[in-house]
Amino acid sequence: MKTISAFAIGLFLSLLISSTAFARYDDGARYAFVASASNKSIFIIDLQERSLAYTIELTKAPSSIVVSDRLKALVVGHAADDSLTLIDLSSAELTQIAYPLDLTPSTIEMSPVGETVAIFDKEAGRLEVHAFHRRAVLLSADNVQTESQFTFSSDGAMIFWVDDGNGTFNAVDLWSKRQSVELAKPWSGLSAVSRSIDGRVAFISEASAGVVHMIDLSTFSPLLKVHVGNRPGRPWGTTDGRYMLVPNNGDRTLTAISTASGATAYTVPTVDHPLFINPGWLDSTAATVGESGDVAFIDIDDGSVTHRYELEGAALDGIVTSDSRTLAIPVPEKGAMVFFDMRSRTRLSSIPGLPLDIGPAVLAISNNLCH
Amino acid sequence: MQRRRNSLSFSAGLMRVQFILCALLMCSTGHAEDVVTGNFELIDHQGQAVTEHSFDGKLRLVFFGYTSCPDVCPTTLFEVARVMRQLGDEARQIQPIFISVDPENDTPERLASYVAAFHPALVGLTGTRQQLDAVAASFNVTYGIEQASGSDSGPGTVFHSSYLFLMDRQGAFLDVFGYGSKAGVIEARLREYL
């Protein structure tokens, strides 16, 4: 009897161990990822259980990460030696593949279709777009000053960037031609570019003038110049496409622009130095998170601030789950991931015990729109 | 309550109309707790007129899409079909519904053959643009036609929200699942209401 019990326990344990070893983390709706340079690790956060699911050990310090649901891969940038590591999230071993670069990956951004990646070298002001499946560089561009100054088109076939030094908005079809639109005098402060969710209109912030330029992406012609607050940053689109939400870094406000009319719906006070804006709960609410860790929830339709919170330290870019209900914000000072319920706008439990240098959170599926 | 257009025009007249529509939209939209009312008047894949009350007595799983969708729609409907199979006899209490936002191409006949490929209980619905605008507003989802970039753009491709809604036996909102939610997660939530 004792032998059978020992056998049964051994079998159970071996099944448990093997199931853990063969856990896969390619469920784009369930897992978020944060990197720690000091630990040379990627932490996989289970958004369903709100727990730390697994830690991927790396041989080099990560400086940035993105994830592709289509490739089932995590792309890790290493600024120290100008390289990437591609991690196969669908493999049992989480296979790592080295990918050398000719520039420093200060920032990497995955295209919406998840097959190409924009790599930005901040010191050199250089932007490259790589297609992993071809191991090819599709685009190289210079004179890009910040990571807020470029974005992909909604189908991933084009990349847009603003060149503040020349005062231009540029668009390149990754497979053929280039368009350029003069927007402002050189060094006027073209600070950021975004596009509408439907891909038809680009929104470019001109920080020094307090305006957002709207460009028709089918004709590459200027549509409107919308006056917003002081020193506008990167506009964020609601996923229902109705509004572009513009954080005004100079006066702690947020301006909502109607994408249909170009009219300003409202400008409301929010948080100090807005870091990012996360629309959620079926686009009824938006969380604005400031650098210092203050969080304000806004009713998107009328701009009223309904709830305010203060995190225990500075915040980094967070994510909203694909069902639009849960907001997760990394707080490096506390080594924690903090969660909020977007529907009730209430704070949930946190995951403590993460390293004190965790980076922004990334998610494979964060856009609730099918193209 | 039109929230999307196939092409943007910024002529003064149209801007004025759009502004008024937006103002009406803002006035008529409620707060977070009631953003999904779930009302609709559409036709099913057999050409019959239906409303949300046509399925009273059953829990509903409602998804928006179009039959030519290459990835999000078939993968989501595959998960819905898997949920139905896993529920066994209890699946009789569930009505899965697929609402096509591409009525120009998704005729009832085409919808019929499409939904049958996933599960016999799956119902395909569609309607006029006006009806679809109303149901989209009712579920707080978006859809439209995205024009290809460039001056020689073609007919464009359909885009739509990729939420899967769980509605109660009278058609009221219960829960929402994001794209990529697995059958096990959906099934577990459904079982709370069986």
What ipTM does the predicted assembly reach?
Answer: 0.77
pLDDT band at A11 (very low <50, low <70, confident <90, very high): very low
Contacts of B71 in chain A (CB under 8 A): 370
**Position of tokens 């753009």?**
B153
Cβ distance B179 to A370 less than 8 Å, yes or no, reads: yes
Cβ distance B149 to A153 less than 8 Å, yes or no, reads: yes
Q: Which of B141, B147, B163 sits opposite A218 (nearest CB)?
A: B147
**pLDDT for B148:** 55
pLDDT band at A300 (very low <50, low <70, confident <90, very high): very high
Neighbours of A131 (CB within 10 A): 15
**pLDDT for A112:** 84
C-alpha distances in angstroms, A210 versus A246, A253, A262, A317?
Answer: 11, 12, 15, 24
Cβ distance A219 to B3 less than 8 Å, yes or no, reads: no
Contacts of B160 in chain A (CB under 8 A): 369-370
pLDDT band at A179 (very low <50, low <70, confident <90, very high): confident
Cβ distance B149 to A217 less than 8 Å, yes or no, reads: yes
Tell me which of A243 and B16 has the higher pLDDT: A243
Cβ distance B140 to A240 less than 8 Å, yes or no, reads: yes
**pLDDT for A132:** 84
Nearest partner of A296 among A269, A323, A321, judged by Cα: A269
From A69's Cα to the closest Cα of chain B, the distance in A is: 9
Cβ distance A258 to B31 less than 8 Å, yes or no, reads: no
**pLDDT for A357:** 94
What span, in angstroms and rounded, lies between the C-alpha atoms of B157 and B148? 8
What span, in angstroms and rounded, lies between the C-alpha atoms of A361 and A14? 33
**pLDDT for A265:** 95
pLDDT band at A24 (very low <50, low <70, confident <90, very high): confident
* pLDDT for A299 beyond 80: yes
**pLDDT for A369:** 67
**Count of pairs with CB atoms under 8 A, one residue in A, one in B:** 150
What span, in angstroms and rounded, lies between the C-alpha atoms of A329 and A280? 14
Give alpha helix (H) positions in chain A: 2-21
**pLDDT for A23:** 61
What span, in angstroms and rounded, lies between the C-alpha atoms of A343 and A321? 12
Task: Give the mutation candidate from B99, B161, B166, B173 for the A interface (greatest A CB count, under 10 A).
Answer: B161
Mean pLDDT of chain A: 88
* pLDDT for B168 beyond 80: yes
The mean pLDDT of A267-296, rounded to a whole number, is 90
Contacts of A369 in chain B (CB under 8 A): 142, 159-162
Q: Which of B32, B160, B185 sits opposite A284 (nearest CB)?
A: B32
Assigned token pair, A327: 């907001």
Contacts of A219 in chain B (CB under 8 A): 151
**pLDDT for A47:** 92
Contacts of B156 in chain A (CB under 8 A): none
The mean pLDDT of A284-307, rounded to a whole number, is 93
Per the CB < 8 A criterion, the answer to whether B118 and B91 are in contact is no
Cβ distance B22 to A260 less than 8 Å, yes or no, reads: yes
Task: Give the mutation candidate from B149, B153, B181 for the A interface (greatest A CB count, under 10 A).
Answer: B149
The mean pLDDT of A49-70, rounded to a whole number, is 94
Nearest partner of B99 among B70, B139, B71, B53, judged by Cα: B139
Total residues belonging to chain B = 194
Q: Which of A200, A285, A324 sits opposite B176 (nearest CB)?
A: A324
Task: With both helix axes pointing from N to C terminus, report the angle between B183-191 and B72-87 in degrees, rounded to the nearest 10.
Answer: 50
What span, in angstroms and rounded, lies between the C-alpha atoms of A368 and A354? 28
What span, in angstroms and rounded, lies between the C-alpha atoms of A64 and A42? 10
pLDDT tens string B92-138: 999 999 999 999 999 999 999 999 999 999 999 999 999 999 999 99
The mean pLDDT of A13-22, rounded to a whole number, is 42
Per the CB < 8 A criterion, the answer to whether B13 and B115 are in contact is no
C-alpha distances in angstroms, A39 versus A59, A60, A108, A111, A313?
Answer: 10, 9, 20, 28, 20
* DSSP-derived pairing of the beta strands B94-100 and B59-65: parallel
Q: Which of A240, A263, A365 sits opposite B178 (nearest CB)?
A: A365
**pLDDT for B5:** 31
The mean pLDDT of A276-280, rounded to a whole number, is 89
What span, in angstroms and rounded, lies between the C-alpha atoms of A222 and A216? 6
The mean pLDDT of A208-227, rounded to a whole number, is 93
pLDDT band at A272 (very low <50, low <70, confident <90, very high): confident
From B15's Cα to the closest Cα of chain A, the distance in A is: 5
What span, in angstroms and rounded, lies between the C-alpha atoms of A125 and B149? 26
Tell me which of B5 and A197 has the higher pLDDT: A197
What span, in angstroms and rounded, lies between the C-alpha atoms of A303 and B106? 38
* pLDDT for B12 beyond 70: no
Cβ distance A155 to B185 less than 8 Å, yes or no, reads: no
* pLDDT for B36 beyond 60: yes
Give the side-chain half-sphere CA count within 13 A for B52: 22
**pLDDT for A364:** 83
Q: Find which of A167-181, A286-300, B87-101, B152-166 is predicted with most confidence, using mean pLDDT.
A: B87-101
Neighbours of B151 (CB within 10 A): 8
**pLDDT for A188:** 85
Tell me which of B97 and A217 has the higher pLDDT: B97
The mean pLDDT of A51-63, rounded to a whole number, is 96
Sheet holding A274-280, edge to edge: A274-280, A285-290, A294-299, A305-310
pLDDT band at B9 (very low <50, low <70, confident <90, very high): very low
**pLDDT for A26:** 85
The mean pLDDT of A205-212, rounded to a whole number, is 94
- Distance between terminal CA atoms of chain B? 35
From B79's Cα to the closest Cα of chain A, the distance in A is: 13
Per the CB < 8 A criterion, the answer to whether B61 and B80 are in contact is yes
Nearest partner of A366 among A147, A112, A193, A42, judged by Cα: A112
SS (H, E, C) chain B: CCCCCCCCCCCHHHHHHHHHHHHHHHHHCCCHHHCCCCCCEEEECCCCEEEHHHHCCCEEEEEEECCCCCCHHHHHHHHHHHHHHHHHHHHHHEEEEEEECCCCCCCHHHHHHHHHCCCCCCEEEECCHHHHHHHHHHHCCCEEEECCCCCCCCCCEEEEECCEEEECCCCCEEEEECCCCCHHHHHHHHHCCC
**pLDDT for A16:** 40
Contacts of B178 in chain A (CB under 8 A): 29, 321-324, 365, 368
Tell me which of B14 and A150 has the higher pLDDT: A150
What span, in angstroms and rounded, lies between the C-alpha atoms of A146 and A272? 20
pLDDT tens string A71-123: 899 999 999 999 999 999 988 899 999 999 999 999 999 998 888 999 999 99
